[in-house]
Amino acid sequence: MPRGLILAIDQGTTNTKALLIDHLGGPVYRNSVPVPVVAHSNGFVEQDATVLWNSVVTAMADAQRYATDRGSRIEAVAISNQRETALAWDAETGRPAGPAVSWQCGRGADICNRLRSRSGDLRARTGLPLAPLISASKWAWLIENDCAVGKLARSGNLRLGTVDTWLIHQLTGGAVHATDLTNASRTGLLALDTLTWCAGLLDLFGIPQNAMPTLHGSSGFFGYCAGVKDFGDVPVLSAIGDSHAALVGQGSFGPGTVKSTYGTGSSLMALTEDLVADTPSLARTIAWSAAGRTHFALEGNIAMTGSAIQWVGDFLGLPDPASDVAELAASVSSADGVYFVPAMVGLGAPHWNANARGAVSGLSRSHTAAHLARAALEAVAFQVADVFAAMEQQTGLNFAELRADGGATRNSLLMQFQADILGRPVLRSANEELSAIGAAWFAGLQLGWWRSLSDLEALRPPADRFEPRMAQTDRSRLYRGWQRAIASVKFSQEVPA
């Protein structure tokens, strides 16, 4: 009998990854297909929905060839995805009605400012601040400003969704219009107390209820992949936002677990005992929904971490921007007083200032490109430390450690500086692909490969441990400098949190 595998599709901001996961819970194959991101000078950031889907088809075909060549069979598809990115399509044709508006896009800022008097109500109902990050502001902008989308809304033929919804629609040949609760919790439209779409907020943003997908748990049956050649009898058995999936992939399911995923942006998530009280600086969110139970978390989102390092490399004209910045940063022992605040699309948690813009401070004639590169790397750790501190304050807990995953964790200099500036150990997962693995584990629960979260804990990958080595006086001095740099880029008229 062919050996069974789960195909995990991790659709991210800049690439689509396909991993094949075996019964031991780890990857036996991986491929990656790049996905372009279009950034406009006015702060709009978008992607082509068709190109995004084609990247998934290509990744799936390559994975299928690998499995077939080795006498294995793909038993299920699992999806993890970039979150908040907003798509719209025609219910009759299935064709995109406009661009995929990236989670990084700030085009919803004017809508958020227009609705600022309702920000407290939105945060209380959904756990999210009223900010351009939420999908609702992007869908509202499309309905108001894109003629094709507005026409579909008026005719009743509009379909809206985040990336998981778009992929499920395409995978099932248009048969299923659904999302999971983790992705729904990032739209600004899901009521956390009832786990349903909030009719009042849909009306507030001018979004038709019939355009919204049905709600599912993160682990469950979403339909068969009738829309993809050679996959017609393969079910989609999980869908979950990438940051939530990475939390699952960490294999630690108790309250007080806190992790940071280092990608294009970064997301810190801390598991809570239950849905916590409203907080202005952090999001309350759904960690995952599986086995008939919904788990909650606190989350802080940072728009630019890995992309900030990429930006500096592009700015310096380096041939391999991210890698060359890391090499430059390692060539100096410190940033020597230089601070880089990567607020090119505003500040996310815990500051929530949509009008902030990036800045470099502390420059002198003696500074070099290497100091700017080091400042970019340190900015990642400083931003994570801001959210970490806000989480401790909100929960009243003193977190023992930070679990880390994502591509940027390969940089040991970053991981050590992160431990130093937190004053806590950082545990780097030995597997970077925790989002895909977490989604696959939830599909495995449906297949009966594993029976419970306890079974998944036993699959936890090993971790590298970085202990803090910096003196408290140095830590405090550096962090005070960062706080001054952050304060200097905040502007008035921000969307209130």
Instruction: Give per-residue pLDDT as tens, 109-162.
Output: 999 999 999 999 999 999 998 988 899 999 999 999 999 999 999 999 999 999
Per-residue confidence (pLDDT) for residue 419, from 0 to 100: 98
Q: CATH number for the domain including 57?
A: 3.30.420.40
* 91 in any annotated domain: yes
In a domain, 279, yes or no: no
* 152 or 345: which leads in pLDDT: 152
Q: Is residue 476 part of a domain?
A: no
Q: Please indicate, yes or no, if residue 156 is contained in any of the structural domains.
A: yes
What is the extent of the structural domain holding 49? 3-243
pLDDT of residue 321 exceeding 70: yes
Q: At what angle do helices 49-69 and 163-171 cross, to 10 degrees?
A: 60
Percent of the chain with pLDDT over 70: 98
Global confidence as pTM: 0.86
Overall number of domains in the chain: 1
Does residue 406 sit within a domain? no
Average pLDDT along the chain: 93
For 295, residues 6+ apart whose C-beta sits below 8 A from its C-beta are 253, 271, 286, 287, 288, 289
- Residue spans of alpha helices (H) in 237-299: 242-249
Q: How far is CA 342 from the centre of its chain?
A: 17
261 has a pLDDT exceeding 90? no
- In this structure, is residue 170 part of a structural domain? yes
Per-residue pLDDT of 182-233, as tens digits, reads: 999 999 999 999 999 999 999 999 999 999 999 999 999 999 999 999 999 9
Residue 35 lies in a domain: yes
Amino acid identity for residue 18 in this structure:
A
Confidence (pLDDT) at 395 = 83
Cα separation, 168 vs 389, in Å, equals 37
Give the model confidence (pLDDT) of 357-412 as tens digits.
Answer: 999 999 999 999 999 999 999 999 999 999 999 999 888 888 999 999 888 888 99
Summarised one tens digit per residue, pLDDT across range 67-113 is: 999 999 999 999 999 999 999 999 999 999 999 999 989 899 999 99
Task: Note the pLDDT of residue 106.
Answer: 87
pLDDT at 492: 52
DSSP 3-state assignment of 132?
A: coil
The angle formed by the CA atoms of residues 380, 260 and 331, to the nearest 5 degrees, is 35
How far is 271 from 154, CA to CA, in rounded Å?
A: 41
| Alpha helices per DSSP H over 396-430 | 412-422
Q: Which of 280, 257, 59 is nearest to 167 (CA)?
A: 59
- Does any domain span residue 27? yes
- Per-residue pLDDT band for 174 (boundaries 50, 70, 90) equals very high
CB count within 10 Å of CB 344 equals 18
